[in-house]
């Protein structure tokens, strides 16, 4: 077993001609790939092609195939896609260099108590091109998914956040995407080793599950969280209003913190439907002995309503935006 995809490696494209109705084309492609020395291996009408040759194969198929979309491709056993989309993946090669060169920093956003004391900071990745221009999260994570680099991107984000946690004394919330963890024993080893090397008290690091709505295998997620817990770390569930709907599931996962999604926070002081969700969430959190945290708080009225109901931690622009230097005082 190995840490699947955690290191940037050369991509081999799996290209299928099984639905192609041009037998002559398949033979021509086979001959062309062997002649050009870009064929890695072949299984009947499925070809494994080096990335440096994929554009050449694409151009060849555009010139010779009558139905380009009868040809499909995929990366690393993901879903098959029309071959007409392959160049979109090739054009996203820039993300490989961003990950290799670690072109990112972490910003700190405060998490506060009802008395406005800073309890923790969430460490949020910020990405940059070589020229210093910003790469927005939706752009980089979209590219990572398309190129199969989500494992490697998630890893470098976690390692960078741990490094930045060294500069604060409060707790640090560090995001991770559970669908990018192949095996916790292998994928998370480097994160644990770095925390130990920096002599960071494990209790200060809180690993936060994001994209919870995409988690389908709760047993796999539980294994990841158990791995963190066994090494002294705490963990939080993000967007609980979206991804986890039953006390039974939450009791199974036993999070230390639960974060209420901002769409139920913003306007909660006047919106009865949001109030019902917020109250139900609070009840669920307390029933599994998790600390309830409201994120996305932007106005005092929502803060006061949530505080009065019993929420214990708060995060949002009302208290501070993510910043390169940790904010030390809170005034609202």
Average pLDDT over residues 69-93: 90
Residues 80, 293: Cα–Cα separation, whole Å: 40
Average pLDDT over residues 135-151: 89
Is 243 a residue whose pLDDT tops 60? no
Torsion over CA: 37, 43, 47, 51 (sign): negative
Q: Is the pLDDT at 266 greater than 90, yes or no? A: yes
The predicted model gives 123-141 an average pLDDT of: 92
Looking at residue 290, what DSSP letter applies? P
Higher pLDDT, 104 or 189: 104
Residue 244 confidence (pLDDT) above 70: no
Give the residue from 265, 285, 262 showing the smallest Cα distance to 274.
265
* Averaged pLDDT, 39-59: 90
> Is pLDDT larger for residue 168 or for residue 145?
168
Instruction: Give the separation between CA 173 and CA 165, rounded to whole angstroms.
Output: 9
| Predicted confidence band of residue 245 (pLDDT cuts 50, 70, 90) | low
Q: Decide if pLDDT at 162 tops 70.
A: yes
Q: Where residue 2 falls among pLDDT bands split at 50, 70, 90?
A: very low
Q: What is the mean pLDDT of residues 304-321?
A: 98
Q: Where in the chain is the domain with CATH 3.20.20.450?
A: 94-315
pLDDT-wise least confident of 69-73, 201-205, 208-212, 307-311:
208-212
Identify the DSSP state of 243: H
CATH homologous superfamily, domain 94-315: EAL domain (3.20.20.450)
- Closest Cα to residue 187, out of 196, 176, 195, 197? 176
Q: What share of the chain in percent tops pLDDT 70? A: 94
DSSP 82-96: EGGGHHHHHTTTHHH
Alpha-helical segments (H) within the chain? 23-36, 54-64, 86-90, 94-100, 137-147, 150-165, 184-187, 189-197, 218-230, 240-243, 247-253, 262-265, 272-287, 300-309
Mean pLDDT to the nearest integer, 33-55: 89
Given a cut of 90, whether residue 273 has pLDDT beyond it is yes
pLDDT of residue 211: 64
Residue 1: pLDDT band by 50, 70, 90 thresholds? very low
Greater model confidence, 11 or 205:
205
């Amino acid at each position: 077993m190995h840490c699947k995809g955690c290191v940037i490696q050369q991509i081999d494209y799996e290209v299928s001609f099984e639905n192609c109705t041009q037998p002559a084309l398949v033979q021509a492609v086979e001959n062309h790939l062997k002649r050009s020395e870009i064929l890695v291996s072949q299984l009947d009408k499925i070809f494994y092609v080096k990335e440096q040759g994929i554009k050449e194969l694409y151009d060849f198929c555009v010139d010779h195939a009558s139905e380009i979309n009868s040809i499909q491709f995929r990366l690393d056993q993901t879903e098959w896609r029309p071959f007409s989309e392959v160049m979109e993946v090739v054009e996203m090669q820039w993300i490989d260099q961003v990950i290799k060169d670690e072109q990112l920093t972490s910003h700190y956003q405060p998490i506060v108590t009802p008395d406005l004391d800073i309890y923790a900071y969430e460490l949020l990745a910020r990405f940059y091109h070589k020229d210093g221009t910003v790469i927005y999260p939706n752009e980089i994570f979209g590219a990572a998914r398309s190129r199969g680099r989500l494992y490697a991107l998630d890893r470098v984000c976690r390692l960078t956040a741990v490094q930045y946690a060294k500069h604060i004394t409060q707790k640090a919330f560090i995001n991770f995407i559970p669908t990018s963890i192949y095996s916790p024993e292998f994928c998370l080893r480097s994160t644990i080793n770095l925390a130990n090397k920096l002599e960071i008290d494990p209790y200060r690091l809180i690993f936060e599950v994001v994209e919870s709505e995409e988690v389908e295998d709760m047993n796999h997620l539980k294994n990841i969280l158990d791995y963190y817990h066994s090494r002294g770390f705490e963990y939080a569930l993000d967007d609980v209003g979206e991804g986890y709907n039953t006390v039974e599931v939450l009791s199974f996962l036993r999070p230390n913190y639960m974060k209420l999604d901002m769409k139920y926070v913003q306007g909660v002081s006047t919106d009865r439907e949001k109030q019902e969700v917020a109250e139900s969430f609070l009840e669920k959190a307390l029933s599994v002995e998790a600390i309830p945290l409201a994120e996305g708080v932007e106005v005092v009225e929502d803060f006061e309503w949530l505080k009065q109901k019993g929420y214990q931690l708060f995060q949002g622009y009302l208290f501070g935006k993510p910043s390169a230097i940790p904010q030390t005082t809170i005034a609202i």
